[in-house]
Chain A
Amino acid sequence: MELRPILSTLRRHKTTAWLLILEIALTCAIVCNAVFMINHRLQHMEMPTGIDEHALVQIQLAEVTPSPDIYARAREDLAVIRQVPGVLDVALVNQLPLGGSSSNASIKLDPEQRQPTLSAGTYFGGNLAQTMGLRLLAGRHLQPDEVLDADVVLKALATGDTKVIAPVTVITQAMAQRLWPGADALGKTIYVGPVGVRVVGVVADLARANAYDDATAHYSMILPMFMGAGKDQSYLIRTRPQDRQAVLKAAVAALKKADPRRVVTEQRTYDEVRDKFFENDRSMAGILVGAIAALLIVTALGIVGLASFWVAQRRRTIGVRRALGATRRNILNYFQTENLLLATIGIVLGMVLAYAINLFLMLHYELPRLPAIYFPVGAIALWLIGQLAVLGPALRAAAVPPVVATRSV
C-alpha cells in the first residue's frame, strides 16, 4: 500500500487528524491504566486467608447487663454451642481474617530496637487454629494449658511480673520468612512490647483482619489469651458447608435460650465476611469496566463519524480513482490504512501518556508500576476498535461508483 497519497491527504486535514490521534492517545492511556487497576483489584480480591472459609460461621453477642465473670460466661457459651448438632468445633476469637476491625502489635527482634521490625495482626485464642482449619507447617499448636484469661495477662503486663504468663506464640510462614529469611523460626524469640515471646509453631497462612496492603496482609500471630465474653469478641463455629445456615440458626437460638438478655449483633457465614471486606474493590472494578466500555464506544463512534465525513467529502476523488482503474479493494485498503496510521501514532503517544499517568498514580495512590504486558494489550484493543469502526465508512467508500467522477456537483 502506498503511504504517500494518504499522508498528503492527511496534511490537508491536519487539525482533524491530530484531534483523532489525540483522542486515540487519551483513550489508550486511560484504558491501559484502567485495565491494570482492574487486574490489581481482582488479584487483591482473591487474597487467600489460610482458613477453611466455606466451613465457618460467626456469631457476635452484646450483653445488656455486664456479666460478673466474662470468662465463665464465654466458657458456658462455648459449651452451649458445642452441644448444637452439626457443630464440629468452636472458638472464641477477637478478630477474623478480612474482618475489618483489627488488633495489631509492633514486633521487635531486640527490645532495644528503636523502630519495630514489623506490625502483625494479633489473634487471641485457644483452639482458634484448629477451628479455623489452619495448616501447621512446623512445631505445634498452642496447648489448652498455655491459654490464660485476658485480665491475668493484662495485670502481669501492667505490673511487669511476666513470669506467670506463658510467652509462646504461633506465627504465619510469611511473618517467619520476613523475620528470619531462610532460617527456622521455631524456638526463636520475638518481642511484643517488652515481653519476649517464643515461637512454638508456624502455620501456612492466616490473613490479617485489616489486610488492605498485600505486602503485609499475611503477618499474623496467635497468642494464648482467652478474651472472655464481650461485644468485640465472636464465636467462630466450624461445621460442614451445607449445614452452615442451619447451624447458625440453631446456635443463635441456643445462645438466646441460655441468656435471653443479650443482643445478637452479628450472625453470618464467613463468605459474607469476605464479601463485605472486598465490597468497595468490587464496585471500583465495576466502575472501571464501565469507564473502559464508555471510552472505547465514544472513541469508536468518533472514528465512525469522522471517517464518514471524510468519505462523503472525498466522493468525487474516490470516483476519479475508481474511473482511473482503482479496484474496490484499493479504496477499502486506503481508508483502512489511513486509520491504521492514525491509530498507530495515537497508540505510540498513548503509551507515553499511559506511563506518565502510571507514574503519577504510583506517587499518589501507592499503585505498583505498570507491567510492560499492558502496553500491547492497549495497542491491540485500539487497533481493533479503529479497524472495526472504520470498516463501515470504508465499505461505503468502496461502493462509490466510478461514474461519480463524471458528475459535477
Chain B
Amino acid sequence: MFAYYLELALRSLKRNRALTALMVLAIALGIGASMTTLTVLHVLSGDPLPGSSGTLYYPQIDPRDNSGQLPGAEPPEQVTLIDGLNLLHAGRADRQALMTGGSVPIQPDSVVVDPFYVESRYTTADFFPMFGTRFSYGRGWNAADDEAKAREVVINGELNQRLFGGADSVGRNLRIADASFRIVGVLDDWAPNPHFYDLNTGSYGRAEQVFVPLQTALDLKMEHNGSNDCWGRGAGGVGRIYPSESCVWLQFWAQLDSPAKAADYKQFLVHYSQEQKALGRFAKAPNVRLRNMMQWLAHERVVPDDVRLQTGLAFGFLLVCLVNTVGLMLAKFMRRAGDLGVRRALGASKRALFGQLLIESGVVGVVGGAGGLLLAGLGLWVVRQRPSSYAALAHLDATMLLTTFVLALGSTLLAGMLPAWRACQVPPALQLKSN
C-alpha cells in the first residue's frame, strides 16, 4: 500500500511542479537557516570539557573595600594575587590552580626566524591534570617546580610544529622573553571552547601556545594580558609592572569531586573571608560564590546575544515557511476534494485517505529536509568565512545532523497533518454530486 500511495503522491506532486518546488524550497530555506543558526548556538553554548565540567568550580570572594558597591553586589570576577596564593596553599579542594594570561616573545635559535609573540598562560601545576589536557609528548610540571620557580615550559602542538616541525621536543631548550626554558611537555591540539578558564582574553577560538609556571612568570615579570579591576589606592599594572595589591587579575579554579565537598568548600570560603576580615584585609561581610563551570559560563553570558537573535530570527522564518506550506498543501488537497470523494465513495476509509495525504506531505518534508541539510552545510560554510572569533568552530556534528533530520521530517509531517485531516473530512456523496 505504501508503494502505491508513494506513487500517487509523486504523481500528484508532479502535476503542480511549480507549487511543489515552492513548497520544497520554502521548507529547505527554513530548515537550512534554522539549522545553521542552531548549530552555531549549539557549538557556542557547548560544554568545553564534557565529563569533568560538573566537578570544576570557580570560587569568588570579595576583598573590596566598602566604597564601591551596594550590599548584595556580585563579588569580583577574579582574585588578587594574595588571596589566590592563600587559597592555593590551603589546598582544600581535590585539585586547584591559580592562573592568569599574558603574551611572550619567542626567540628561536635560528637567526633566520624573527622573534614573534604568542599568547601565554601563567599557571600552577594542577592546571594540566584538572582540565585533562592531552599531551603529545611529556607532561606538565609539579607543585614543587612551581615553588622553585622552575624554568620549565609546556608548549602546544601548533608552536611545536612551527619550531620543531612536530618532533618530540621534550628536554630541548626554548628562549622566551630573554630567559632560557626547558620544554617538559607538548600538548596536542587541546583548546577548549569556550575558553572557559579566562573569558577576559577572549571567549572563543583562543588557545595559548605557551604555559609557564606562575611563580616563574611573576619572577621574570612576564607581560600580563587580561582584565584588572582595582579599588582604593589600587592601580592596574603597566606592562611589566604588575597590578597592585588591591586589584583582582588572576583566575582561581578548583576541582571538587562531590556536591558534599563543594558545600564544604563554600563554607571554607566563608571562613576564609571572616578570617581575612579579622586580620583587617577584607572590609565586607563574607560575600562568596561557588559556581560550577557551566553555571559560570551562563552567568557570564558567554554566548553572544547576536547568535541568540539570529537563532530566533531563523526559527521565525521557519515558522513562516511552514505556515506557508500548510496553506499551500491545504489549498491543494481541497482542490482534489473530487478525487478524494470518489475514493471515499469506493470504500476507502478516512484513515486510508489520511495516510495517503500524509505520505504526500512527507515526501515534500523529506525532500525539503534534504535540501535544508545541504543549505545548512552551505550556511555553515558561509559562517566559517566570516571574521568572528567563533567562525572556525561552526561545524555540523552527529547530534546536529540527527536534529536536522528529525526537525525537517517532524515539522513537515506536523504541517501535513492539518491539511490531510481537513481534506479527509470531505463527505463522499457531496463531492460526487457537486460537479
Binding site for B on A (CB under 8 A): 13, 15-16, 19-20, 22-23, 26-27, 30, 34, 37, 62-66, 70, 103, 106, 111-116, 150-151, 153-154, 157-158, 160, 193-194, 227-228, 230-232, 261, 263, 265, 279-280, 283-284, 287-288, 291, 294-295, 298-299, 301-302, 305-306, 308-310, 312-313, 361, 365, 408-409
B313 contact from A30, A158, A310, Cβ within 8 A: A30
A288 CB contacts on chain B under 8 angstroms: 313
B105 contact from A103, A263, A299, Cβ within 8 A: A263
A302 contact from B306, B324, B332, Cβ within 8 A: B324
CB interface residues, B 305-345, toward A, < 8 Å: 305-306, 308-310, 313-314, 316-317, 319-321, 323-324, 326-328, 330-332, 334-335
B310 nearest CB neighbor, chain A only: A287
9-residue interface stretch from B55-63, B76-84, B109-117, B187-195: B109-117
A112 and B7 alpha carbons, distance in the complex (Å): 83
- Interface contact A20-B107, CB-CB below 8 Å: no
- Interface contact B317-A263, CB-CB below 8 Å: no
A228 contact from B115, B239, B328, B335, Cβ within 8 A: B239
9-residue interface stretch from B64-72, B159-167, B259-267: B64-72
A403 and B197 alpha carbons, distance in the complex (Å): 79
B317 CB contacts on chain A under 8 angstroms: 30, 291, 294-295, 298
Query: Smallest CB–CB gap between B208 and chain A, Å?
Result: 16
9-residue interface stretch from B87-95, B229-237, B285-293: B229-237
7 contacts between A and B (CB under 8 A): A64-B115, A66-B239, A106-B68, A114-B68, A283-B388, A287-B310, A301-B26
- Interface contact B313-A157, CB-CB below 8 Å: no
A174 and B386 alpha carbons, distance in the complex (Å): 35
Beyond A16-B334, A65-B178, A231-B117, whether A26 also contacts B316 by CB under 8 A is yes
A261 nearest CB neighbor, chain B only: B115
A365 CB contacts on chain B under 8 angstroms: 305, 308-309
B280 CB contacts on chain A under 8 angstroms: none
A154 contact from B26, B238, B314, B321, Cβ within 8 A: B238
- Interface contact B117-A263, CB-CB below 8 Å: yes
- Interface contact A194-B232, CB-CB below 8 Å: yes
B116 CB contacts on chain A under 8 angstroms: 263
Q: Flag whether B424 is at the interface (Cβ < 8 A).
A: no
Query: Smallest CB–CB gap between B101 and chain A, Å?
Result: 13
Q: Flag whether B29 is at the interface (Cβ < 8 A).
A: yes
B305 CB contacts on chain A under 8 angstroms: 365
Q: Flag whether B276 is at the interface (Cβ < 8 A).
A: no
A160 and B235 alpha carbons, distance in the complex (Å): 12
- Interface contact A231-B331, CB-CB below 8 Å: no
- Interface contact B335-A280, CB-CB below 8 Å: no
A16 and B323 alpha carbons, distance in the complex (Å): 10
B331 contact from A157, A227, A305, A361, Cβ within 8 A: A305
Which 5 A-B pairs have CB atoms at the shortest separation, nearest pair first?
A230-B239, A19-B327, A302-B324, A309-B331, A64-B105
A27 and B387 alpha carbons, distance in the complex (Å): 30
Q: Flag whether B19 is at the interface (Cβ < 8 A).
A: yes
Query: Smallest CB–CB gap between B210 and chain A, Å?
Result: 14
Q: Flag whether B223 is at the interface (Cβ < 8 A).
A: yes
A304 nearest CB neighbor, chain B only: B22
A302 and B19 alpha carbons, distance in the complex (Å): 9
A115 CB contacts on chain B under 8 angstroms: 68-70
Q: Flag whether B241 is at the interface (Cβ < 8 A).
A: yes
B71 nearest CB neighbor, chain A only: A114
A37 CB contacts on chain B under 8 angstroms: 309
Query: Smallest CB–CB gap between B66 and chain A, Å?
Result: 7
A263 contact from B22, B114, B236, B313, Cβ within 8 A: B114
A26 and B314 alpha carbons, distance in the complex (Å): 13
- Interface contact A150-B238, CB-CB below 8 Å: yes
Beyond A114-B70, A305-B22, whether A103 also contacts B236 by CB under 8 A is yes
- Interface contact B238-A151, CB-CB below 8 Å: yes
A157 CB contacts on chain B under 8 angstroms: 233, 235, 244
Q: Identify 9 new A-B residue pairs, CB closer than 8 A, beyond the known A279-B388, A283-B386.
A: A16-B331, A62-B105, A64-B107, A114-B68, A154-B241, A158-B233, A280-B306, A291-B314, A365-B309
Q: Flag whether B240 is at the interface (Cβ < 8 A).
A: yes
Query: Smallest CB–CB gap between B333 and chain A, Å?
Result: 10
Beyond A64-B107, A193-B232, A263-B117, whether A298 also contacts B29 by CB under 8 A is yes
Query: Smallest CB–CB gap between B119 and chain A, Å?
Result: 12
Query: Smallest CB–CB gap between B25 and chain A, Å?
Result: 8
A70 and B241 alpha carbons, distance in the complex (Å): 11
A230 CB contacts on chain B under 8 angstroms: 238-239
Query: Smallest CB–CB gap between A77 and chain B, Å?
Result: 15
Q: Flag whether B422 is at the interface (Cβ < 8 A).
A: yes
Q: Which of B231, B324, B332 has the most CB of A within 10 A?
A: B324
Query: Smallest CB–CB gap between B327 and chain A, Å?
Result: 4
Q: Flag whether B399 is at the interface (Cβ < 8 A).
A: no
- Interface contact A298-B326, CB-CB below 8 Å: no
A231 CB contacts on chain B under 8 angstroms: 103, 117, 223, 239
Q: Which of B66, B317, B386 has the most CB of A within 10 A?
A: B317
- Interface contact A299-B117, CB-CB below 8 Å: no
A261 and B335 alpha carbons, distance in the complex (Å): 80
- Interface contact A299-B320, CB-CB below 8 Å: yes
A313 and B330 alpha carbons, distance in the complex (Å): 13
A114 CB contacts on chain B under 8 angstroms: 66-70
B387 CB contacts on chain A under 8 angstroms: 279, 283
Beyond A22-B323, A62-B105, A114-B69, whether A302 also contacts B328 by CB under 8 A is yes
CB interface residues, B 210-235, toward A, < 8 Å: 221, 223, 230-235
Q: Flag whether B143 is at the interface (Cβ < 8 A).
A: no
Q: Flag whether B298 is at the interface (Cβ < 8 A).
A: no
- Interface contact B328-A66, CB-CB below 8 Å: no
